[in-house]
Amino acid sequence: MSLDPVQVMKVQDPMPSTCLSASNGDSQASWDDSKDIHENVDSTKKPKSGPVRRARKVEGGIFFPKPENAVTIAVSSRVLFRTEKEQKVFEQKGIEEYLRYQVEHENEPFAPGPAFPFVKALEAVNSRLRELYPDSEELFDIVLVTYNHAHVGIRLINTINYHSLFIERFCMTGGSSPIGYLKAWHTNLYLSADAEKVQEALAEGIAAATMFMSEKQIEVSETQLRVAFDGDAVLFSDESERIFKAHGLDKFFEHERENENRLLDHGPLKGFLEVLGKLQKKFYAKGHRMDCPIRTYLVTARSAASSGIRALKTLRAWGLEMDEALFLAGAPKGPMLEKIRPHIYFDDQMFHVEGAVEMGAIAAHVPYGIAQKYPHKKSTNAGK
């Protein structure tokens, strides 16, 4: 099986970007000469009926947490929604016809994409947090990020309202890179279909992953957010993976035994696990440990007895609790993820991402570390 993220449009002389506190299509392209796109387009159509989105209300108006206090999740429109048809219009007919098509269909909502259940689960956690801490700004705050021109914004807002999502912040960058905006939003996690932009975000110290479309998708919980992580090159550095790639499995085990009391360095998603843990502790403080709406999983190909102790000691030293830990000793991860049913699973190796998606699990690739240079081969079992 081979997975490819939705092809990203090329940038040529992008127009200035638009960032708004409201809501946002995600295709990089030239946006020149597009200001007349509304000509000859019927703007009298009425949106299709759908559920009405309700904003959070507080005394004095609608409540929006400050970015520095919130857990900010930036999501590309191409992983939140299904936009393959629109992508084909761009590829076959060019940018002007693409924009015209979007305006003509702006009252037709996009279907949910792979990140949609994850975002809905974030909103469910927010609802529980607001019940327990009405005045707290420590909430998930979702920012919709798109390479699209602002003309596409109406369709995206209509879609957000149709699906009753609470997304009020978005950036439409008109073909330019969103990375600078991600830093300004204090982004804790960025999910995109563009592997290059994900790598750019990782290089800037922003937790990020590439998501993929899958026709098969298992049902996930509507009341509990489930997030699963690989270990090396995701939560931890790729130090141990480098030993395995260079010297083989026996040397890897020897290295881990010799260094079991030396902490692993942090990986690109350690910070995201930390903020999840911080929110979990808010529920624990109110007596909701057993029914906490956030649950975390470590799903690693490491062997428990041979190399698992170092990983667990590192997490404990960091003050991080993992609700469940699965040490698979090289066994396929897909069947385990099918049972966990995570809203998202992060792994640095496409081999494991493909296996998860084959089972219908929602998986995201973290393009970080030595595994990007030496892809996993089916004939070998990594120790991580």
Catalytic residue ranges? 230
Q: Is the dihedral of CA 159, 161, 166, 168 positive or negative?
A: positive
The token pair that represents 317 in the structure block: 């030293």
> How many whole angstroms separate alpha carbon 129 and alpha carbon 53?
19
Q: For residue 35, is it left (φ>0), alpha (ψ between -120 and 50) or beta?
A: alpha
Q: Collapsing DSSP states into helix, strand and coil, what is residue 1?
A: coil
CB 113 within 8 A of CB 120: no
DSSP letter (8 states) at residue 89: H
From the list 197, 82, 95, 192, the residue with the least C-alpha distance to 151 is 95
Query: Please, which residues have CB within 8 angstroms of residue 35's CB and are 6 or more apart in sequence?
Result: none
How many other CB atoms are there within 10 angstroms of residue 113's CB atom? 26
> How many whole angstroms separate alpha carbon 339 and alpha carbon 349?
20
